[in-house]
Amino acid sequence: MTSNSVLNSKRGAMGGSAGGAGTRFEDLVGAFYLCGLLAGSSSAGQKGLPSGVYVTRLLRQAFLPVDDIVLVTSSGGGIYLQNKRRLFATETNPDFKETLSQFKQLALNIIDEPLGPWNRAIDSQVDRLGIVVPHTAAQNLDVRIDRLANTAREASDWESFEHVVSQTEELQEALATVVSVLDSVEPDVVLTEQQKLTLLQCLALFRFDLGSSASSDFQHAIHLLTDHVVLNANQAIQVWTYLVNLSSQLGMVQNPRELD
């Protein structure tokens, strides 16, 4: 796929929504990152990416444990995104258990697929295990998990991590919930304390505001396209409409600048 092939789309502008009637949330998120992929290095630091890092490949439904959206980055990392409308972090919530089970498989590299950053254990320096939610669902999400992950990223080992967590009751409860779920899913495989810490260090919460043409992340995507891919806002909206449709269909898209 090239920038010109996108521009040659005859699809019309969107009107008042960021994706049209019936558009799935995950397709909008995929389109958001496709905008960054087209912009190449100009999109460095895009939502969820470390500073100076940009997307080189995007995959949807890639037959990996976490594959709603998988981003391969210029740092050699993988950003594995699981889309959720809401997620309650409890030991009995099936969505939360399924999500942690999939993250556990990535942490242990239980994957029979040689082509990509997933062909190794996860690395907290370059990888992220992302839970993606609409910004309007933030009140439905247990934000303790987000705080727990931020605390883990500041720790050098499990002992120092547990010490910091022990100072706050809500973090203690969150850690107990996560550890209980991790131990209960894939019970035949036990994570070491270091593997649990690495998983938590990779864990991230991404909130997206893509509900309308006035939403902040939609505007960011349009500005990215206008500044680096197309000539004006009207063309950018046409490209966005195309990318939302493409996001719902694709298997993998690679940045044309990265092709040999």
* pLDDT tens by residue, 18-71: 555 446 888 999 999 999 999 988 888 788 888 889 999 898 877 778 878 999
Q: What is the pLDDT of residue 235?
A: 96
- Category of 232 on φ-ψ map: left (φ > 0), alpha (ψ -120 to 50) or beta: beta
26 lies in a domain? yes
Q: For residue 10, with 0-12 CB atoms within 10 Å meaning exposed, 13-18 middle and 19 or more buried, which class applies?
A: exposed
**111: containing domain:** 3-252
| Domain membership flag for residue 74 | yes
Q: Report yes or no on 21 lying in a domain.
A: yes
Phi-psi domain of 45 (left: phi exceeds 0; alpha: psi -120 through 50; beta: other)? left
Establish if 122 belongs to a structural domain: yes
- Which positions ≥6 away from 150 have C-beta within 8 Å? none
Does 23 map to a domain? yes
Q: How far apart are the first and last CA of the chain?
A: 13
pLDDT attached to residue 250: 77
Cα separation, 213 vs 222, whole angstroms: 10
**CA 215 to CA 125: how far, in whole Å?**
31
Is residue 64 in a domain? Answer: yes
Which residues does the chain have with pLDDT short of 50? 1-16, 21-22, 256-260
pLDDT of residue 194: 92
Query: What are the backbone dihedrals phi and psi of residue 129, each rounded to the nearest 5 degrees, phi first?
Result: -105, 100
* Coil vs helix vs strand at 56: strand
Count of domains forming the chain: 1
Within a domain: 86: yes
Question: 87: which 2 tokens?
Answer: 């997620």
pLDDT at 13: 34
pTM, rounded to two decimals: 0.83
In the chain, the amino acid numbered 176 is: A
The predicted pLDDT at position 14 comes to: 37
Burial of 209 (C-beta count, 10 Å sphere; 0-12/13-18/19+): middle
- Domain annotation covers residue 219: yes
